[in-house]
Amino acid sequence: MADLRTNFVGIKSPNPFWLASAPPTDKEYNVVRAFQAGWGGVVWKTLGEEGPPIVNVNGPRYGAIHGADRRLLGLNNIELITDRPLQINLQEIKKVKREWPDRAMVVSLMVPCDELPWKQILAAVDETGADAVELNFGCPHGMSERGMGASVGQVPEYIEMVARWCKQHTRMPVIVKLTPNITDIRYPARAAMKGGADAVSLINTISSIISIDLDNFSPMPSIDGKGSHGGYCGPAVKPIALNMVAEIARDRETAGLPISGIGGITNWRDAAEFIALSCGSVQVCTAAMTYGFKIVEEMTTGLARWMDEKGYRTIEDFRSRAVGNVTDWQYLNLNYIAKAKINQDLCIKCGRCYAACEDTSHQAIMQSKNGKRHFEVLDNECVACNLCVEVCPVEDCITMVQQTTGTDARTGRKVNRDYANWTTHPNNPMALKAAE
Amino acid sequence: MAARVEGIAGRRLDKAQYAENFADLHPRLTGHEALVEADRCYFCYDAPCMTACPTSINIPLFIRQISTGHPKNAAKTIFDQNILGGMCARVCPTETLCEEVCVREKAEGKPVKIGQLQRYATDELMAEKKHPFTRANPTGKKVAVVGGGPAGLACAHRLSMHGHEVTIFEARKKAGGLNEFGIAAYKTVDDFAAREVEFVLAIGGIAVKTGKAFGKGLKLKDLQHDFDAVFLGMGLQGVNALGAKHEDADGIEDAVNYIAELRQAKDLGKLPVGRRVLVIGGGMTAIDIAIQSKLLGAEDVTILYRRGPEHMKASAYEQELAQTKGVKIKHWVQPKKVLTKGKKAIGLKCDYVKEVKGKLEPTGESLEIGADMIFKAIGQTAIDVTGGALALSGGRIIIDAEKRTSVKGIWAGGDCVAGGQDLTVAAVDDGRRAAESIHAYLMS
């Protein structure tokens, strides 16, 4: 049986599944229920500095996009950091950590951009016996207007500065949570590293307007007829998160920087993909908010079974295995030839491949043969774009088949099995000339 | 619990039981169910369902319109091709038309529920009580439509849309044809047929004259004289004979007539039905009368058909529906003689038959089955009501692709034409196509 235990920058947990800093981790009651359900750890919902509690709106905080059967695909929220008194949160963190010593207890923090407030709150968290802190530089709404959250995360210099303060004032590992609302995620990651952060976690939510009410023309969720941008999360953001994680994992400067992966993780498979891109733990929120805490059972058993089937004994056995395969376009093998192939036994003749190819792509699929409805790929037109594969409603009906011998019917060129990429391509004016 | 009274009797059930038995066979989908079902449609290229639909409704489009929250646009898409789309959604044998060729039928044996989605959409728009079409400017042309059934209504509606004045001549007391007087009651509850006629006529420009039929004062010559064009859609008037001895005994009924009575009955308890009922035939009418006899409280209902299940005109789905309702279907038996006691029919003597070189031959075995009531559901026949004016084939009017008869200025469609499918939806298609042809003719 696979061993799911993880040790992420010294934070130990029985499995890599942590609940992300968010409503599910706002208080003892929720966190204890989460631990009872089997979650490996939590990042306690962001604490702010001592003082009058945070005020949230009294109207709706969430909006969502749904699939046809109300499957929640993307969620957006305008909730702020914890609105409970700091001391109560600290007492509860201490109590829960004492009662659940084997679980990861990370505390998310967000205070103004001065050294003193950071120093003070770190001392208070130190007291609780928590395993680590996560600096919330990502929250895109509300707090960012007050100079915190994403407004810090969008300025690499601030990240570096705050990270450095934190490392000076605490014994605990420091994780910097990054905002995706930035053009190049590598800059804030490098800044966190320079500031001495032990790890980064990403992505936080993406600035978003989930929808417009076409009756009153208010953005949703609507507060008395007005709406504000919120933070977008859930299954829909996973591809964005995977890319940002990969960018950091393969960047020369940040390679090896521990990453806690966040963004649309809904099941074991999503988690495995983040881990394959080097994440040492994964954080989940929307899936738990949609289905409740019990989904972690599917995640742990699913990941374990897959590891068993693949022969991976520990998480480390497959962690980072995908990083080396993420490359730039210019290094992709231009001599790799593939053609779409439609399995006629599986084809149900819906013609979606034909419509997609004929209307929007390369006119490489025929729609009839001998007067009968029949869909077949024309190798002399097929560029192997994969669109037909993706629009086909039948799994594995259309596949991409590599051509390893003969001539490419489309180009008339002989298949060359040697690797060759754009950097040496004759059409590239910047091509590197082979050494004479 | 049905009262086990011997012979033919009414009030076999209590009031509540009649209501339950004759309730909607397929209650309409809820909004959420419709969205989920609509999402199953793949929006096929050159969709097979659309090709299979006799009225060529753009099915992928209307389903997509449902899925994006506009069932009324979906209904408009349906009505563009088939103004009786509401009834067709209820009575079309979709299992042998659109849903049979749905790619999901092939993929998983579960086609998209096109019929139910069509009903959902059309119900939404019809509830609005606002007619979705407007008439073109008046052309000053007048068209006579004989028969107020599906073919006639579809033809009249399209003609009116093009700005012509239409007069429908209907033999019965109200329009609707088999939608009103045929078809199983549980497929069209809450007086839907009459409401649909009202919906169609709401476009305006269509006058309905009831009690008018050929042979009852109406003359084709007069129509030709008084109108710029004539459309004939009067259905079939005759009923096939059984050819068995004592066919005229008491207790033997034409299913078509009985169903017409049932459809108009205000109190189903007043409809007498046998305790043991036999139905002769293999089409939709046989299934409809058998099921409804059962629903009226008959204890045993048996359909007798002279060939095998695969030869029945009723679809496999309809056969199964009958069997689920407790109807027994006996195959390869042919009625030979009605058994009588005095003037009353008390059963049937049948021969077992087999097929030899395409023809039925007795096997030599026979069978006697007792019954209080025997329904003939062996098909309707055409009677030439036009007085030999038109070219016929097998008694039915010969038409071309544009639904023109052999006589200039006269079109025909529905069950009275040769080569038809005897389906509501096919009649609607005839009517609409004929109207387009008439319009082109009148405007040229």
Interchain CB distance below 8 Å, A68 and B106 = no
How does the average pLDDT of chain A come out, rounded? 95
For residue B399, the number of C-alpha atoms closer than 13 Å in the C-beta half-sphere is: 26
Interchain CB distance below 8 Å, A350 and B39 = no
pLDDT band at residue A434, thresholds of 50, 70 and 90?
A: low
The closest alpha carbon to B122, from B89, B80, B93, B95, belongs to B89
Distance (Å, whole) CA A12 – CA A191: 26
Residue B2: per-residue pLDDT: 62
Interchain CB distance below 8 Å, A348 and B67 = no
What residues of A are in contact with residue B104 (Cβ under 8 Å)? 348
Interchain CB distance below 8 Å, A351 and B46 = yes
What residues of A are in contact with residue B117 (Cβ under 8 Å)? none
Same fold, B40-126 and B142-237+382-443: no
- Looking at the structure, do residues A109 and A159 belong to the same domain, yes or no? yes
- Residue of A69, A352, A394 with shortest CB distance to B45: A352
Q: From A358, which residue of chain B is nearest by alpha-carbon distance?
A: B45
- Residue of B35, B38, B42 with shortest CB distance to A350: B42
Interchain CB distance below 8 Å, B44 and A69 = no
Distance from CA of B418 to the nearest CA of A (A): 28
- Looking at the structure, do residues A321 and A336 belong to the same domain, yes or no? no
* Distances, alpha carbon B143 to alpha carbons B85, B156, B229, B397, in Å: 23, 8, 5, 19
Residue B3: per-residue pLDDT: 65
Interface residue of B30, B43, B44, B63 to substitute, partner A, most A CBs within 10 Å: B44
> Would A297 be classed as within a structural domain?
yes
A361 near B CB under 8 A? no
> Would A76 be classed as within a structural domain?
yes
- Looking at the structure, do residues A319 and A348 belong to the same domain, yes or no? no
- Residue of B45, B103, B107 with shortest CB distance to A355: B45
A388 near B CB under 8 A? no
One-letter identity of residue A333: N
Phi (first) and psi of residue B349, to 5 degrees? -105, 130
ipTM of model:
0.82
> Would A1 be classed as within a structural domain?
no
B279, B289 contact by CB (below 8 A): yes
The closest alpha carbon to A256, from A280, A234, A233, belongs to A280
> Would A258 be classed as within a structural domain?
yes
Burial class (CB in 10 A: 0-12, 13-18, 19+), B260: middle
Instruction: Collapse the DSSP code of B380 into the 3-class scheme (helix H, G, I; strand E, B; otherwise coil) and give the result.
Output: strand
What architecture does CATH give domain B40-126?
Answer: Orthogonal Bundle (1.10)
- Residue B354: which H helix or E strand, with range? strand B344-356
Distance (Å, whole) CA A207 – CA A138: 10
Question: Does the pLDDT at position A389 exceed 90?
Answer: yes
What residues of A are in contact with residue B106 (Cβ under 8 Å)? 348-349
- Looking at the structure, do residues A357 and A288 belong to the same domain, yes or no? no
> Would A170 be classed as within a structural domain?
yes
- Looking at the structure, do residues A47 and A163 belong to the same domain, yes or no? yes
- Looking at the structure, do residues A128 and A271 belong to the same domain, yes or no? yes
- Looking at the structure, do residues A179 and A321 belong to the same domain, yes or no? yes
What residues of B are in contact with residue A348 (Cβ under 8 Å)? 103-104, 106-107
- Looking at the structure, do residues A317 and A376 belong to the same domain, yes or no? no
Joined together, the tokens standing for residue B95 give 């299992």
Residue A435: per-residue pLDDT: 52
- Looking at the structure, do residues A199 and A141 belong to the same domain, yes or no? yes
Residue B391: per-residue pLDDT: 94
Residue B385: per-residue pLDDT: 83
Q: Quote the crossing angle between the two packed helices A186-194 and A156-169, to the nearest 10°.
A: 30
> Would A72 be classed as within a structural domain?
yes
Q: Which of A282, A300, A325 is the last residue of a domain?
A: A325
Distance (Å, whole) CA A133 – CA A114: 17
Number of helical (H) and strand (E) elements in chain A, helices listed first: 12, 20
- Looking at the structure, do residues A303 and A337 belong to the same domain, yes or no? no
Distance from CA of B45 to the nearest CA of A (A): 5
Q: Which of A273, A300, A325 is the last residue of a domain?
A: A325
Joined together, the tokens standing for residue A11 give 């934070």
Find the chain B residues whose C-beta atoms sit closer than 8 A to any C-beta of A.
32, 35-36, 38-39, 42-48, 67, 103-104, 106-107
Residue A147: per-residue pLDDT: 79
Strands A104-109 and A41-47, sheet pairing = parallel
What residues of B are in contact with residue A342 (Cβ under 8 Å)? none
> Which residue range(s) make up the domain with A312?
6-325
> Would A432 be classed as within a structural domain?
no
Q: From A357, which residue of chain B is nearest by alpha-carbon distance?
A: B45
Distance (Å, whole) CA A119 – CA A138: 20
- Looking at the structure, do residues A321 and A354 belong to the same domain, yes or no? no
CATH number of the domain within which A165 lies: 3.20.20.70
Torsion of CA A268, A273, A276, A279, to 10 degrees: -80
A/B interface, count of CB pairs below 8 Å: 39
A350 near B CB under 8 A? yes
Distance (Å, whole) CA A302 – CA B7: 67
- Residue A303: which H helix or E strand, with range? helix A295-310
A280, A273 contact by CB (below 8 A): no
A302 near B CB under 8 A? no
Interchain CB distance below 8 Å, B44 and A352 = yes
- Residue of B35, B43, B103 with shortest CB distance to A68: B35
CATH number of the domain within which A393 lies: 3.30.70.20
DSSP for A207-241?
Answer: EE--EE-TTT--EES-BTTB---EEEESGGGHHHH
The domain defined by B142-237+382-443 folds into FAD/NAD(P)-binding domain (3.50.50)
Q: What pLDDT digit, counting tens, does each position of A98-133 carry?
A: 999 999 999 999 999 899 999 999 999 999 999 999
> Would A436 be classed as within a structural domain?
no
Strand partners, A365: A377
Residue with tokens 């180009």: A411
Interface residue of A214, A343, A348 to substitute, partner B, most B CBs within 10 Å: A348
- Looking at the structure, do residues A193 and A291 belong to the same domain, yes or no? yes
Distance from CA of A71 to the nearest CA of B (A): 11
Domain-by-domain residue ranges, chain B?
8-22+241-380, 40-126, 142-237+382-443
Distance (Å, whole) CA A332 – CA A249: 19
Distance (Å, whole) CA B122 – CA B99: 18
Residue A324: per-residue pLDDT: 97
Distance (Å, whole) CA A21 – CA A116: 23
Strands A72-77 and A230-233, sheet pairing = antiparallel
- Residue of A67, A350, A394 with shortest CB distance to B44: A350
pLDDT band at residue A436, thresholds of 50, 70 and 90?
A: very low
Catalytic residues of A: 139
Distance from CA of B100 to the nearest CA of A (A): 13
Q: Which of A300, A325, A350 is the last residue of a domain?
A: A325
Q: pLDDT tens digits for chain B (444 residues)? A: 566 788 898 999 999 999 999 999 888 999 999 999 999 999 999 999 999 999 999 999 999 999 999 999 999 999 999 999 999 999 999 999 999 999 999 899 999 999 999 999 999 999 998 999 999 999 999 999 999 999 999 999 999 999 999 999 999 999 999 999 999 999 999 999 999 999 999 999 999 999 999 988 899 999 999 999 999 999 998 888 888 888 889 999 999 999 999 999 999 999 999 999 999 999 999 999 999 999 999 999 999 999 999 999 999 999 999 999 999 999 999 999 999 999 999 999 999 999 999 899 999 999 999 999 999 999 888 888 888 889 999 889 999 999 999 999 999 999 999 988 889 999 999 999 999 999 999 999
Distance (Å, whole) CA A358 – CA A111: 56
Distance from CA of A362 to the nearest CA of B (A): 16
Cα dihedral sign, B304-B310-B313-B316: positive
Task: Domain count for chain A, please give it.
Answer: 2
Q: What pLDDT digit, counting tens, does each position of A159-204 carry?
A: 999 999 999 999 999 999 999 999 999 999 999 999 999 999 999 9
Distance (Å, whole) CA B46 – CA B333: 43
What architecture does CATH give domain B8-22+241-380?
Answer: 3-Layer(bba) Sandwich (3.50)
Distance (Å, whole) CA B426 – CA B55: 7
